[in-house]
Structures are given as structure tokens and as C-alpha cells.
Structure 1
Amino acid sequence: MLGAVQFGLLAACIVLFVPMGMAGWHLSRNKVLFFSGALFITLAVGVHLTPYFPPFSSFISSPSSSTVVVASVNRDSCMSFLHEIEFDRKDSIFNGSYSGKSWKWLDSNKGVVGCDFQKLSRSDASDLLNGSWVVLAGDSQARLVVVSLLELVMGLEEMERVRGDLFKRHSDYHTTVDAIGMKLDFIWAPYVSNLTDLVVEFREKRYFPDVFVMGAGLWDMLHVNNAMEYGVSVRMLKESVMPLLPVTPEFDIKDRPEVVRSPHMFWLGMPMLINLILNTEEKREKMTDAMWYAYDEQIYKSKLVRNFGGPLFLLDIHSLSSRCGRSCTTDGMHYGGVVYEAAMHIMLNALLIESQQRLS
């Protein structure tokens, strides 16, 4: 609108001053009147048509417009760089928490640098999760991610006061972080069938969390130890999850329930298992590298996670625990808090990326 007004003022000046200049060149009165009339009509038509054409600047490449395009491309590709993390190699005594280690995204990876990932502060994480309902369901790995998330949004001192309730064996945990209105539920769901039941329950109630993190496999490996049966359960879970997805060409599901807002969904992968230091003979016998890969292959075949063409973003605990190494675990299965802290920040950065995509 402002551009049309400015153009109109310019046209008026041309209509007024150009004929005066022509008269100064001693042209005849009729020629001046004819030219000024034609000029007036041409400019009047131009002024009225101007709003219906894109601004001229849109045809010119500018630094700002180029930056927007690059940022859009980066958002699509940055998800693949989120696990490019390294842990420091300080020698330290593992204490069940941070084991003296720290982590960062790889500075040497150009993709990582371009994506500008960040460890969110308590304030930033609170802003991101403000008013959200977050559900984490699974086994002890999911519980450890809950610890890292609550330590960030609640602070270490407040977290210590609730740690005992959170670590009651094989139990659910529910809390609300009143300062930001975030509701958090941890659901003890050690088998994939438990996760499927939970998803079905959400669908029946038509009430869905904003963020849904789930993962199971370790208990199945120990107590069932049958990769083929595990694969059947994973495929059933995928079928139950599909109707919750937004309508896209890849995931056009019939009989979809009315989902006002599709949840952000994550799959929590199994950690690297160090067989020699697993703390029982049964675990060392059943939870071998071969069995781990057989179970992981079922995740691939089911196409549950995005890496394999599925709907859930993988929080790759295996990759993170492998990079942290043996010094980050005392039982070959559960790792120091630094691993789950990294996984939690990967999740938060993925939420930032997905939110920007959905808002763009």
C-alpha cells in the first residue's frame, strides 16, 4: 500500500512538472496539452494497476531473501545432524550421574555448524515446553531421560526432592511443573505391547500429549528373548501410531480420528550393551550383541522410525552411549546422566526445528 502511494505522488509530480519543462522548450501549446493528457492517463492507469503486481524488489535477489531460503533448507536437513555429538575423554570415576564428562556437538561438522544447535538453558526450555503435556513411556531408559528433563526445567535442588518418587521400581510417575504449566507423565511400559495399549487409549479418549517419547526392548530381550515376536509387536505399534500423524502424502491414513494437533513423537532406542559387565548371568547369556542387532533389525523392518522411512524420530541412545564409552556405565546397560542429557537436548532441538517447519 505504501509503495502505491509513493508511486502516485511521483506520477503527480511528473504530470505537473514535465509539461512545464516542455513549455520551457518552446513547444506549441497543443503539443504540450496533448502530451500531458496522454501522460496523465498512462500514469493514472499505472497507479491503479500497481497493487495487483508484485513489488519490483521481489524480482531481485537480496541477502535477506537468500538467508531465508538457506534457513528453510537447513531446517529440513538439520534433523540428520542432531546426533553428531562428542563426549570429552576425561578420566573420572563414574558416579551414576554425569561421570565427570561433558558433551558438545561436533564443531568439525559443517552441517552441525550451519544448523546452530544449542544446549537450551532452563529459561529457553521452559519457554519451549510452556503449557505442554509431555509423556515418556518405556523402561528405565525412558525414566533416565525424565530425570534429565526435570533437572533442566525444575533445577537440581527441586529435582532431588522428587527423585525418590521417580525411582520407585516399576511404577508410573506424574508431576506438574507449576511455574510453566508443564504436565509430565512417565508411564512404566517395559514391553512394546504396553506402548500400543497406551496409544490406543489416547486414540479412544481423543486426548493426545504434545510430546510423546516411547521406547521398549531391553525387558523383552531379557524376559522373552525372541526377536521375531518383538518385530510383530513393533509393527502393531506402528499401525496404532499412524492415525495420529498429520495428513501428508507419505502418511495418508484412512479412518483417521479427529486429531486437532498431532503430537511430536520420538522413539527411544536401546543403548549399547557391554556384555562382559552386565550384572547377572541371565543378562550376559541373553543380552548379547547378536541379540541386540536382531532386535534392532526388527525396528528397521517395521519402518517405525524416520531413519528407515517411518513416522517417529529416533533418539539414538545406542549411538550416544557408544560415543560416551565404557567409562560411562557400571552395569553395561544404564549410562551416566550425560548420555540422557544429550538425548534430551537432541529432543528439544528437534522440537524447535519441527515447530519452525510447522509455523513457516
Structure 2
Amino acid sequence: MVAAAQIGVLAACVVLFVPMGMAGWHLSRNKMLFFSGVLFITLAICIHIAPYFPAASHFLISSLTPSSSSSPPFRPSSCLSFLHDVSFLPPVSPSSFDWLPNRSRSADCDFQKLSRSDAGELLNGSWIVVSGDSQARLFVLALLRLLLDRSSVEVVEGDLFRRHSDYHIMISEYAVKLDFVWSPYESNITSVIQQFHDSIRLPEVLIFGSGLWHMLHTNNASDYSEALASVRRSAASMFYPSSSGLPSQPPHMFWLGMPTLVNSMLNTEEKKKKMSRKVWEAYEQEVHGSGLFMQSGGHFLLLDIGSLSWNCGEQCTIDGMHYKSIVYEAALHVMFNALLIESQQKI
């Protein structure tokens, strides 16, 4: 707004003082009026068409706005595209896996590996719902390992990994409510979303992910696409006023991508046949063409377990499907940094 006002003042000064200066050179009145009219029309046209040429608009505004070399411009979309750019370090021992953000490409975005206290501060008072299959359960475990001390994690881990069960915990230190809902199929996820439609309070963070069970038991990429469309429609409805009439802030929504499958390491012949590289790629294509993600008009930000697990490699999995905790920890910090970018916060 200030920059636009400055441009207007500058244009007025040009139109007013340039013809006066020319008059001082003893030009005829007709010539002066002609030049003044041409100048005014030219400036008016430039101002009206500038919005259709972003580069020109940016040049005009930046030329009138003080710049600071100490703080780079904030570019949310470009920063989000760098969040999965991480490096997995070669292990010194079988249990010493680690990862780091690739600073050479994301330095301006200040991609941070958050400590326990920083993550607790970011999530303080939040309600987090994670709904999905075993990949989602491993993601929850990564979050608990960060927010809880080791002895507490050992206590809750047995409850978390009860076969095909839900899990709920309140982390009192940070007032974080965490719910895991076992949802192996997309229809299960749709049902979870629909439960929130008329809620007075929505979760602050929603994380969903599915596909492996559909691939194994249905094995039809087109059917998977239709199931994802239902998830997309249900998620979009959360951004409209509820029937309760009370305003509610829409949640931050994330989608856990499917991991890279190492076919030779899968533990049954059925999995090796139905979860081949070709089938996996077909399912991945349907996910990216589903309209779920922000860049295609949806409401989800992808937590790309596929690319992270690929970068970590076969050394990070023992069954070709489930990966070591380091992969889900990296995805967790991708989510943290996306939340920081969306809210323009610093830790």
C-alpha cells in the first residue's frame, strides 16, 4: 500500500514539474500542452498495465522500498519445495543413522532440526490427529520419541503398536493431545474427516496417509484414485462453515506419502507380486494427480516418505516396506518447518 502511494506521488510530480521545466526553456504553449498530455497518457497506461507484468511491478515497488541485505525475502512456496532436501549420513554403527538438512539449497529458508523443547513450544496446546496405516503409526512413534523422555516412550510403545488399534495420549508437559486412528483404507480416512464436520473445535494438525493396504488387497490404481477423490472432497468441506454456525480455524493438513518399496525384500510372495515397482508407480501417479495437494488446488502438504526412504536406501529397511525411525523423524521435521513457514514463525 505504501509503495503504491509512493508510485502515485512520483507520477504526479513528473506530470506537474516536467512540463513546468520545459516552459522555462521558452517552448510554445501548444508544444508544452502536447508533451504534457502525451506524458500523462503514457504514465497512466504504464500504471494500469503494470499489474499484468509481475516483474515490472516488482521492479517499480522494489525501487521505491528500502531493502535490507541482512534478511532475505520471505518466499513460502519456494521454501516449501526445499523441505525434503535432506542428506542421510552413512552410519558409523547399525544404530547410528542420522540426517541433516541440505544447507546449500535451503539456507535462506532456515530449515531447522528442532530440539525437544522447540518442538514442544511449536506444538504447545495443539490437538494432533494422525490417521492411517503402519506408516502413520511409525510417524506417531517418531513424534513421541521427540516429545517424551526415553523411559516414557518405552512404556507407551507397547500400547501404540497393538495390532490394528487406535491410540490416544495427552502429553501434559506441552498440553498436546495426540490421537492415532487406525485407518488402513481411504474410506476409513474419509470417515475420520467426516466426524469433524460439525465439531466446535477442530484439530490444529491433521496427518493422513494410506495406499499400501489398497495396493495389496484391492490392487487397482483407478479404484484408488476414486477413493482419494472422496478424501479430497471431505477434506475440502472442513474449510466451509460448520452447521453449528460457530467459526473454526481450519487445520494444517498433511498427507504421508507411501514409502519406496524394495520388492526383493518384501516378506511374502503375494506382496512381491502385487506390490511391484510398476504397481507402486501407478499408485504414486494417482496420488499426485488426485488434487489433494496445495499446488494442485487441494489442502494437503505432502510429507514425501517415498523420496525420503529412497534417499536413505535399502540399508534403512529390513522388510522392504517399513523403514528405520530416521526416515519418519526427517518427515516429522519437514512437517515442523512447514508449520513454521505457514505461520511465518521462528524458533
| Superposition TM-score, scaled by structure 2 size | 0.77
Q: Deviation per CA, 1:295-327: give whole Å up to 9, x if none.
A: 111112221123444220000000000000000
Q: Which residue does the alignment assign to 1:125?
A: 119
* Superposition deviation, residue 356 in structure 1: 1.5
Q: Which residue does the alignment assign to 1:4?
A: none
* Superposition deviation, residue 240 in structure 1: 0.7
Q: For the pair shown, which has the larger CA radius of gyration, 1 or 2?
A: 1
CA distance in 1, matches of 2:87, 2:186: 30
SS class of match (1:331): coil
Q: Which residue does the alignment assign to 2:235?
A: 241
* Superposition deviation, residue 77 in structure 1: 1.8
Q: Which residue does the alignment assign to 2:51?
A: none
Q: Which residue does the alignment assign to 1:43?
A: none
Alignment of 1:173 with 2:167, yes or no, is yes
Which consecutive unaligned segments of at least 5 residues does structure 2 have?
1-61
Alignment of 1:205 with 2:199, yes or no, is yes
* Superposition deviation, residue 255 in structure 1: 9.2
Alignment of 1:148 with 2:142, yes or no, is yes
Q: Check whether the contact 1:203–1:257 (CA below 8 A) recurs between aligned residues.
A: no
Q: Which letter maps to 2:196? A: F
Q: Check whether the contact 1:142–1:214 (CA below 8 A) recurs between aligned residues.
A: yes
* Superposition deviation, residue 63 in structure 1: 4.8
- Picking from 337, 341, 345, the partner of 1:353 is 341
CA distance in 2, matches of 1:256, 1:87: 47
Q: Which residue does the alignment assign to 1:101?
A: 97
Q: Check whether the contact 2:160–2:167 (CA below 8 A) recurs between aligned residues.
A: yes
Alignment of 1:334 with 2:322, yes or no, is yes
Which consecutive unaligned segments of at least 5 residues does structure 1 have?
1-57, 94-98, 247-252
Alignment of 1:298 with 2:297, yes or no, is no
Distance change in 2, residues 1:182/1:307 (3 Å):
same
Q: Check whether the contact 1:244–1:259 (CA below 8 A) recurs between aligned residues.
A: no
- Picking from 129, 139, 142, the partner of 2:133 is 139
Q: Which letter maps to 2:89? A: D
Q: Which residue does the alignment assign to 1:88?
A: 89
Distance change in 2, residues 1:298/1:256 (3 Å):
farther
CA distance in 1, matches of 2:155, 2:87: 31
Q: Which letter maps to 1:230? A: Y
* Correspondence list, 1:1-360, <5 A: 61-64=65-68, 70-73=72-75, 75-90=76-91, 92-93=93-94, 99-109=95-105, 112-245=106-239, 259-356=247-344
Q: Deviation per CA, 1:38-57: give whole Å up to 9, x if none.
A: xxxxxxxxxxxxxxxxxxxx
SS class of match (2:207): strand
Q: Check whether the contact 1:90–1:100 (CA below 8 A) recurs between aligned residues.
A: yes
Q: Which letter maps to 1:237? A: V
Q: Which residue does the alignment assign to 2:50?
A: none
SS class of match (2:202): coil
Q: Check whether the contact 1:244–1:257 (CA below 8 A) recurs between aligned residues.
A: no
* Superposition deviation, residue 202 in structure 1: 0.6
Please give the root-mean-square deviation of Cα atoms over the aligned residues, in Å: 2.4
Q: Deviation per CA, 1:211-259: give whole Å up to 9, x if none.
A: 000010001111111111111010011011112238xxxxxx9999754
Mean Cα displacement is larger for which, 303-312 or 176-185?
303-312
CA distance in 2, matches of 1:342, 1:162: 21
* Superposition deviation, residue 206 in structure 1: 4.2
| Superposition TM-score, scaled by structure 1 size | 0.74
Distance change in 2, residues 1:117/1:150 (3 Å):
same
SS class of match (1:185): strand
Q: Check whether the contact 2:236–2:298 (CA below 8 A) recurs between aligned residues.
A: no
Mean Cα displacement is larger for which, 336-345 or 83-92?
83-92
Distance change in 2, residues 1:229/1:87 (3 Å):
same
Where has structure 1 moved over 6 Å in runs of 4 or more? 253-257
Q: Check whether the contact 1:243–1:256 (CA below 8 A) recurs between aligned residues.
A: no
Seq. identity, %: 48
CA distance in 1, matches of 2:231, 2:213: 17
CA distance in 1, matches of 2:254, 2:124: 19
CA distance in 2, matches of 1:113, 1:311: 26
